[in-house]
Chains A and B, each alone.
Chain A
Amino acid sequence: MSTLDRPLRGATVIVCCGSGGVGKTTVAAVIGIELARRDQRVVVVTIDPARRLADALGLADGLGAEPQRIDLDVPGELWAMMLDTEVMFDRVVRANAADAEQADRIVQNRFFRNMAGALSGTQEYMASEALHQLHGDERFDVVVVDTPPSRHALDFLEAPGVLARFLDHKVFKLLMLPTRSGLRVLNTAAQPILRAIGRVVGSDVLADAVAFFQAFAGMEVGFRDRASSVMSLLISPDTRYVLVAAPRHDTVDEAVWFADQLRARGIGVSAAVVNRTHPRFGSGTAAEAAEQAAEEKDPATAALWTNLAELRTIAEREREAVAPLDDRLDGAALVEVPLLAGDVHDLDGLVEIGTHLFKRRSVPAAGRR
């Protein structure tokens, strides 16, 4: 049986990716708990708006935007935080602004507020920023990131460039005109396209945008530098990628596609986790159990054979669905987590999943202090 032990050895950053609803958050939490059991200081960053990680870890008040220590009886430390895109964006702007006055002008601008909340890719961008900041934080040995539930998992890798690309935008160039005293914002009325945009969305909206770009002048360079240092962390050999999938064709296809995209960027997948696979009962096939059901005279026993046949059928179909992913892993570990008889929404559930993801050595069981 493969486990995550070897693929994650020596990792300083662990990125969990996959389509929505496959259990990325759960896997990230389980990895965090296990590494903390092994005396590491781990921080898990989650972006999931359902705050499932908080629930699972027993944090009734939810997670904050600052790392929060989880109360676990383990040799290491487990911290968790929830990514707050807007808080993070403010922080990034303040770190890059020439002075407090410039930072204020930007963060108070309505266009900026919209951008922090709505520009596609912003969430992914801030996730990669958080990862970079936490990686440099002395309090932690390992950062585990649960990527946004994005259908385009790749956004995460392209995220650091989002703002830089936005600033390279033609509209920005249309708005700004270099003059002797630096950049100057053009009169919007002078530009037919801007006039037209103003007619569509309203001129006050456009005025906000102009004010934003004006306030932002001079910060582009800092943002671009930052983007490239985040990018080099994302492709570092100590950053490991764990694909998470459900045993269904659609999520497996997406995981396979993501593995290909990573490879095209020279990054290998360290492991894949297939969550919630149906357990296998006994060594026979579904067809054999169905045959037994047909031959069995006692109706109650026949019903049990039928049940066994049905569960084996699902397990067999799932195995077929997962096969393409196994083929694409180049020998990286494929770890299956069986569907449990109960639902996972507490610490005990996470600990149980841990026994499937990792080899359990004689480490004391995790429990709340």
Chain B
Amino acid sequence: MTSNPHSRRAARMAAGARSVAVAVLALVALPALAQEAPDALVKRVSQEALQIIKTDPKVQAGDQARIRDVIEAKLAPHFDMDRMTALAMGRSWRQATPEQKKRLADEFKSLLIRTYSNALNQYRDQTLQYEPLRAAPDAGDVTVRTTVVRPGQTPVEIDYSMEKTPAGWKAYDVIVGGVSLVTNYRDEFTQQVQSGGIDGLIKALASKNSGGAAK
């Protein structure tokens, strides 16, 4: 045996490094494997967003651009914009070309982010309550129910329709006090498509997004 203590130590270190690497990989891969439950996801994301809204000095000062950035970064990734747009479009979605679909989803997303940031700015003194999820463990489509409690006012229920995707649970509709966002926009979109076609709708959304803020 001509074992060299240096090489032995090197081997041990290599093994150690390997196991650390494995552990790190496992940690990174774990959340992806054990997908976060939809109600846990809603709770985590909304708490994180509320935390930022309540503590970020720029947000506190009413900096709309900053609020939009927070929503874009924190909330938007958890929405399935293609599905939302498809649902809001109804039958016209299938008549749209892939480029039109992309523009529609992008413009719709901007509109929702603008609207939501405006809403967040107005409803700051709110607390959120979460209801336990009532769904089969293997369900692929669930409704996560939350309630916004505001001092001195009737509570407002906010429900998220969510579907399971390979990239985790994604919301495809938000229902505020019984008013579904997707259903609301369906009338609007249908009306625009009827009068100006799909391009007319894209144009209407784009001009809303560029002019809506400077009210």
Query: Do A and B bind?
Result: no
